């Protein structure tokens, strides 16, 4: 297996002579294999290696045992080790994210801090073929573009994945052959996390019932998609140079996408160009979704002056030359994962600033906690995993509808307003919680019957309206 990894590292230009490398070591089979392989590669590349272990303070007793094992392992291999102890449960609650996301963020922060201390070291992670297939299926399930179909890249920025060309079975056989012990994480076999369900059920089913070489074929496809994405990214970069004009305003980046040039760009490239521009203006991309790109592209076909509020306090505005994207202190997220506000008539209501969102992880809540405890007139819960788009807080627009009963029957929002005898002059100011055109909650009036929290709900989107006494309804 080592020769296979060595060739993979060389093909993807992961290492150079005298590189400094941070190795993420959890104590599990994959990371122990990674450390061992890096020490072998050290002989060829004269590497300087440092290990980093993150104790998430989960799994009472077991987490400390893992830490103790990694300390002993690194001491025996004479590898310098830095240990970070981070209360992931506390971090998740503080940041309004799941413990899985918080753990990932904690590890990334620890690795990058140590890499910076070493003077720009590379960060080696132990992802392998099976992990890559899990990522692919997860991306497809959540919705992805071409880039997501490429899975985990062998090398991206400072991150490298030397084991990405080998399978979990090869790693375990390698450890057995070299008599290397490792820690077993029992939570890997539980179905608490989405990734675990894919690992424990979907992939085995595909290999056992469809094709035993499913993992290999999926990895081959991802490699092709990765190369295709590199080509697309190059084309997008060229289109950006001709279609986009950037400028600075009080330290904030703004962009003008010229309509005459944009419309000559192949339709397949346009969403990627918009994403690239938004990412540069926002300085981040996590909460940018397909719906944001679609709505921004629609602006090119609308009248001058029309606006759209986007995540990260961005605003897209239709102007004579095309579409301007800039930071807008009044616009942007309302305080939740994937949250967004949007204008439908050119007016922006400040009431939306009182909408707060957070994502709760059901498994971290007390079993006896009733899902109706927080169901007040101005706090609602929704099943986060079955929401199709980014949740937006906005006013009405054509095509809106609401689910009116548990049988799934729907009603046009306009008809709902008529039935409830809501005055015409008030309708444009009523805030809505929307999943695309699907209205989940007419704030102050009624909650739709879609995305209800059930016993099978894993993640809960909690939406709270502060100072809700100013809203007219009680549902």
pLDDT at 190: 67
Which one of 122-131, 189-198, 300-309 scores highest in mean pLDDT?
A: 122-131
In the predicted structure, residue 312 carries a pLDDT above the cut 90 = no
| Distance, CA of 420 to CA of 415 (rounded, Å) | 9
The tens digit of pLDDT for each residue in 185-223 reads 666 666 666 788 888 899 999 999 999 999 999 999 999
In the predicted structure, residue 315 carries a pLDDT above the cut 80 = yes
pLDDT at 37: 95
In the predicted structure, residue 404 carries a pLDDT above the cut 80 = yes
pLDDT at 166: 95
pTM of this prediction exceeds 0.85: no
pLDDT at 452: 86
In the predicted structure, residue 127 carries a pLDDT above the cut 70 = yes
pLDDT more than 70, % of the chain: 84
Query: What is the sign, positive or negative, of the torsion defined by CA atoms of 172, 188, 125, 166?
Result: positive
Predicted confidence band of residue 352 (pLDDT cuts 50, 70, 90): very low
Token couple for 284? 């981040």
pLDDT at 227: 93
Q: Give the CA diameter of the chain.
A: 78
Contact 123, 24 (CB under 8 A): yes
pLDDT at 462: 80
- 317 three-state secondary structure: strand
Predicted confidence band of residue 92 (pLDDT cuts 50, 70, 90): confident
- 389 three-state secondary structure: coil
In the predicted structure, residue 416 carries a pLDDT above the cut 50 = yes
Predicted confidence band of residue 383 (pLDDT cuts 50, 70, 90): confident
Exposure string (b/e) for 360-378, b if CB count within 10 Å is 16 or more? bbbeeeeeeeeeeeeeeeb
Token couple for 41? 């590669």
Contact 137, 198 (CB under 8 A): yes
Predicted confidence band of residue 49 (pLDDT cuts 50, 70, 90): very high
Mean pLDDT (the chain) is 83
Q: Which range, of 221-225, 350-354, 393-397, 420-424, averages the lowest pLDDT?
A: 350-354
pLDDT at 188: 65
The tens digit of pLDDT for each residue in 419-475 reads 888 888 888 888 888 888 899 989 888 888 888 888 788 888 888 775 434 444 434
Rounded average pLDDT over 273-279: 92
pLDDT at 187: 63
Residue 202: φ, ψ to 5°:
-65, -50
pLDDT more than 90, % of the chain: 44
The tens digit of pLDDT for each residue in 317-332 reads 999 899 999 886 443 3
In the predicted structure, residue 126 carries a pLDDT above the cut 50 = yes
In the predicted structure, residue 371 carries a pLDDT above the cut 70 = no
| Distance, CA of 276 to CA of 261 (rounded, Å) | 16
pLDDT at 377: 60
Predicted confidence band of residue 142 (pLDDT cuts 50, 70, 90): confident
The tens digit of pLDDT for each residue in 280-293 reads 998 877 667 777 88
The enclosing H or E element of 326 equals strand 322-327
Q: Which range, of 27-36, 91-100, 144-153, 340-349, averages the lowest pLDDT?
A: 340-349
Rounded average pLDDT over 6-12: 94
User: Listing from the earlier edge strand, what are the strands of the sheet with 81-85?
Assistant: 81-85, 48-55, 20-24, 122-124, 159-160, 155-156
pLDDT at 460: 84
Q: Which range, of 155-159, 308-312, 405-409, 469-473, averages the lowest pLDDT?
A: 469-473
In the predicted structure, residue 97 carries a pLDDT above the cut 50 = yes
pLDDT at 276: 92
């Amino acid at each position: 297996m080592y020769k296979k990894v060595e060739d993979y590292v060389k093909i993807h230009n992961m290492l150079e002579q005298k590189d400094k490398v941070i190795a993420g070591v959890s104590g599990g089979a994959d990371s122990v294999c990674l450390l061992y392989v890096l020490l072998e590669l050290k002989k060829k590349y004269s590497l300087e290696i440092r290990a980093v272990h993150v104790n998430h303070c989960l799994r009472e007793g077991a987490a400390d045992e893992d830490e103790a094992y990694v300390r002993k392992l690194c001491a025996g291999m004479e590898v310098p080790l830095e240990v970070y102890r981070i209360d992931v449960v506390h971090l998740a609650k503080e940041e309004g994210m799941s413990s899985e996301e918080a753990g990932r963020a904690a590890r990334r922060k620890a690795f990058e801090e140590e890499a910076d201390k070493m003077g720009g070291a590379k960060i080696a992670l132990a992802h392998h073929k099976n992990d890559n297939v899990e990522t692919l299926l997860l991306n497809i399930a959540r919705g992805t573009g071409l880039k997501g179909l490429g899975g985990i890249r062998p090398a991206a920025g400072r991150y490298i994945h030397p084991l990405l060309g080998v399978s979990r079975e090869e790693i375990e056989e390698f450890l057995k052959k070299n008599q290397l012990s490792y820690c077993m994480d029992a939570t890997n076999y539980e179905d608490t996390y989405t990734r675990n369900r894919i690992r424990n059920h979907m992939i085995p089913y595909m290999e056992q019932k469809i094709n035993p070489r499913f993992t290999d074929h999926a990895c081959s496809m991802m490699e092709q998609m990765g190369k295709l994405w590199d080509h697309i990214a190059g084309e997008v970069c060229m289109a950006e140079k001709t279609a986009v004009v950037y400028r600075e305003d009080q330290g904030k980046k703004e962009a003008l996408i010229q309509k005459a040039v944009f419309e000559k760009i192949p339709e397949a490239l346009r969403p990627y160009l918009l994403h690239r521009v938004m990412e540069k203006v926002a300085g981040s991309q996590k909460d940018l979704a397909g719906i944001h790109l679609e709505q921004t592209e629609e602006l090119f076909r609308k009248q001058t002056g029309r606006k759209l509020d986007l995540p990260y306090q961005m605003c897209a505005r239709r102007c004579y030359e095309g579409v301007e994207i800039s930071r807008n202190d009044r616009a942007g997220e309302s305080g939740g994962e994937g949250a967004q506000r949007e204008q439908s008539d050119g007016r922006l209501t400040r009431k939306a600033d009182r909408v707060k969102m957070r994502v709760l992880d059901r498994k971290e809540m007390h079993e006896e906690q009733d899902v109706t405890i927080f169901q007040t007139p101005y706090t609602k819960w929704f099943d986060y995993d079955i929401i199709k788009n980014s949740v937006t807080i906005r006013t009405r627009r054509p095509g809106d509808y609401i689910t009116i009963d548990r049988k799934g029957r729907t009603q046009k929002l306009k008809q709902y307003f008529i039935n409830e005898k809501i005055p015409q002059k008030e309708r444009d100011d009523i805030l809505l919680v929307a999943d695309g055109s699907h209205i989940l909650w007419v704030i102050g009036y009624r909650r739709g019957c879609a995305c209800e929290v059930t016993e099978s709900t894993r993640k809960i989107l909690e939406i709270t309206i502060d100072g809700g006494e100013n809203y007219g309804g009680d549902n």
